[in-house]
Amino acid sequence: MIYTVTFNPAIDYVVRLDSPLEVGEVNRARGEDCVLGGKGINVSGVLAELGCQSVALGFVAGETGAWLERGLAAQGIQTDFIHLAQGMTRINVKIKAGQETELNGAGPNIPESAMQALEAKLDALQNGDILILAGSIPASLAQTTYERLLARLEGRGVRAVVDATRDLLVNVLPFHPFLIKPNNHELGEIVGRVLNTEDEIVAAARTLQEKGARNVLVSMAGDGALLLDEQGQTHRIGCPKGKVVNSVGAGDSMVAGFVAGYLQSGDYTTALRLGTACGSATAFSLGLAKKEEIEKLLLTI
């Protein structure tokens, strides 16, 4: 089974205006949408499009949390959230008026008792299961939370996938995650230099592999992606042609596609192709990738 963790899920309230936002004035929207989000939830959503069952874990609170939970169930996404007694699941306001303005909510505080409840759920994971940890850690939790969870699972045969930045990513490497997915800029930040060539990206990825990562998947936006696998092989793939209209969730979609592709084939080249198709399909869409668009792009790469 695949499990995703979203510590601070959100309802994105997206408002569209016909003219620029006027601060201090009444602005009339021409339309609005509510999008249920969070990096782990995005991964679960794309996995569902690919026919891969997953369980979305994390924390929800209040009526907004109940709404998010019902909405995900309606999308066919299985959840097993921990319900917090205080606070409310955050609402992020996204105002699209030529330029985009965002106001992101803080979300509820997560007490130690809730973390222990999450750990109890993770104790049920078995050999061969996949745990996907993605995104930042909320302010109410220690920045060592990823390490805490992976240390608890160490030696159990659970394959961890981590999509995070800087120290959050570097500090989990001793636990030998199955996959990490920095982009080329994040990889450069980790090694302390700008990566200008493919050889430099490969060398930087290898340093993370030497520190414990089994597979390093580096996304490079319009330049495609590069994978350094656990056998030491380098795989390179370009990006399919299309117009980028949305970068939100593209990295999460790539993670979902890679994991699904590997589980279905056991082959890293196949996993990289499906991951790239999923990431591109989201980038070329207003929302997360849909099965039809993923399949169409797969034929072109």
Contact 278, 253 (CB under 8 A): yes
Q: How many whole angstroms separate alpha carbon 65 and alpha carbon 226?
A: 37
Question: Annotated catalytic, 167?
Answer: no
Exposure of 138 by Cβ count < 10 A (0-12 exposed, 13-18 middle, 19+ buried)? middle
**Exactly one of 12, 33, 252, 267 is catalytic; which is it?**
252
- Report, in angstroms and rounded to the nearest whole number, the Rg of the chain calculated over CA atoms: 19
3-state secondary structure the chain: CEEEEECCCEEEEEEECCCCCCCCCCCCCCEEEEEEECHHHHHHHHHHHCCCCEEEEEEEEHHHHHHHHHHHHHCCCEECCEEECCCCCEEEEEEEECEEEEECCCCCCCCHHHHHHHHHHHCCCCCCCEEEEECCCCCCCCCCHHHHHHHHHCCCCCEEEEECCHHHHHCCHHHCCCEECCEHHHHHHHHCCCCCCHHHHHHHHHHHHHCCCCEEEEECHHHCEEEECCCCCEEEECCCCCCCCCCCCHHHHHHHHHHHHHHHHCCHHHHHHHHHHHHHHHHCCCCCCCHHHHHHHHCCC
Active site members: 252
